[in-house]
Amino acid sequence: MALLDKAKKVSELISKLFVLWVVVVAVLAFVRPNNFAWIGEYVSPLLAVVMLGMGLTLTLEDFVRIVERPRDVVLGAVAQWVIMPVSAYALVVGLSLPEEIGIGLVLLGAAPGGTASNVYTYLGKGDVALSVTVTSLTTLVAPVLMPVWVIVFVGEQIQVTFAQMFQEIFLIVVIPVLLGLVLRYALDRHAPTVSAAGLTVFPAISVLAIVAIVGAVVGANVENLLTASALVIVAVLIHHAIGLSAGYGTGIATNMAEDRARALSFEVGMQNSALAVALATAFFTPLAALVPALAVVLHQIVGPIVATYFASQDEEALYETTAQTET
């Protein structure tokens, strides 16, 4: 148990400093691109590892919640499926973004919810169960909806078929998630100690895999980064802000409790940008992977800020209640 406790502390430290690792590796890849560009060949397997880790965090009870509370789950999923790809395309047209940059932004918008949304929902005192359930649903449906949106918005500019994208997403997302779910179920029943160890270590492994993906994309895009307009960063930030605010607004407008509205804010606003990177790398040019790679970094900066704000609102409300009681 002592070894497990140490492993847990190391894993928590790695996960807690996620943004730091991303920034450090991005800088190193920018300075020494050849040391990281070779990782580009392994982006899909690395993402599969991340998805396996996501599957390990799930239980059958998470999917039971879809039946128990279908309204909130469906509202969250539909908001994510519609708001993010449509707003991405609107930004591409409105800002007159270059073709490859536009493809990258559409890929980002069409991606399902990311696992980071679950973490920030927890930190922001949102409904974690709802967050996990919506993430699971959007991830499992991603092989169908993601290619549809990409083909609808940029179909004339690409040579990729629906079947090709469906197969790629299914292989690197759905199969690892289902494998992780089955493995978690089996270990919980027959080897709970091993299960606990896996849950302790895998978050750190997922973080390292995402960091490696960022390094690969930056290493392959040094020249593009040098010439990238600030407009690209602005586009990613606006897209992110639209998702966070629209997700929260959807929850409030449909009379959800505050904690559920917060969960939808992160679910809609935070995509699986690593998946968008993998697809851009597999089917398009390195330049198309630039937007989702930037999103990996920017989402991990904005997310904690929003989560801290939400949590502070609860603290202020508690303080005011306490003050009124004392008077």
What's domain 43-311's architecture?
Answer: Up-down Bundle (1.20)
The 10s digit of each residue's pLDDT in 60-104 is 776 676 677 789 999 999 999 999 999 999 999 999 888 889 999
Domain regions of the chain by residue span: 43-311
Beta bridge partners of 113: 271
- CB of 191 closer than 8 Å to CB of 14: no
Report the number of secondary-structure helices (H) and strands (E) in the chain: 17, 0
Torsion of CA 260, 90, 101, 233, to 10 degrees: -60
Other Cβ atoms within 10 Å of 87 Cβ, number: 20
- Write out the chain's pLDDT in tens, 327 residues: 566 667 677 777 777 777 788 788 888 988 998 898 888 888 888 888 887 887 887 777 766 766 777 899 999 999 999 999 999 999 999 998 888 899 999 999 999 988 778 878 877 888 888 888 888 888 888 888 888 998 888 876 667 778 888 888 888 888 888 888 888 888 888 878 777 777 777 778 888 887 888 888 788 777 776 766 788 889 999 999 999 999 999 999 999 999 999 999 999 999 888 888 888 888 888 788 888 888 877 887 788 888 888 888 866 554 454 444 445
Torsion of CA 261, 266, 267, 272, to 10 degrees: 180
- CB of 212 closer than 8 Å to CB of 44: no
How many CA atoms, within 13 angstroms, populate the side-chain half-sphere of residue 299?
32
For helices 128-154 and 70-94, give the axis angle rounded to 10 degrees: 40
